[in-house]
Amino acid sequence: MDNRREKGKISEELACEFLTRNGYKILDQNYHCSNKGELDIVALDVAANTIAIIEVKSRQNLEMGYPEEAVTLLKRTQIKRMAGLYVSIKGIKDTLIRYDVIAVLFRDGEEPEIIHMKDAFY
């Protein structure tokens, strides 16, 4: 497994731990639907009774920009399409869906910084 893939896996685990500590229930992680794409995390925001579709992005530093800037229009479109498949396959009805981004910034010698952006895109 390459370093980038390993960092992605660690970032998603940190995001799940963060969400759980903040009252979310993890419903799925790395949800795949054939070759249609992947959802990083699907979680229930218990307090808001809302399903959060969460994209996790990470960076070692800010040379390439902030992690959340990597969630392009194309990526948002793919996530929305996958979310539609997810709720259809799971039979989810009458539940609000929200799209969030969790950015994880790894800085040398420091604990990773985790930023949760709710309603990051529609």
Please give the chain's pLDDT, 122 residues, in tens.
357 778 889 999 999 999 999 999 999 999 988 777 899 999 999 999 999 999 999 988 888 888 888 898 999 999 999 999 999 999 999 899 999 999 999 988 889 999 999 999 86
CA separation for the pair 111, 117 (Å, rounded):
19
| Angle of CA points 114, 33, 26, to nearest 5° | 35
Strand partners, 31: 39
What contacts 119, CB < 8 A, 6 or more positions away?
98, 99, 100
Structure confidence at residue 2 (pLDDT): 56
Structure confidence at residue 46 (pLDDT): 95
Give the chain's domains with CATH numbers: 3-121 (3.40.1350.10)
Structure confidence at residue 70 (pLDDT): 87
Task: Residue 89: name the closest of 21, 10, 43, 31 by CA.
Answer: 31
Contact 101, 71 (CB under 8 A): yes
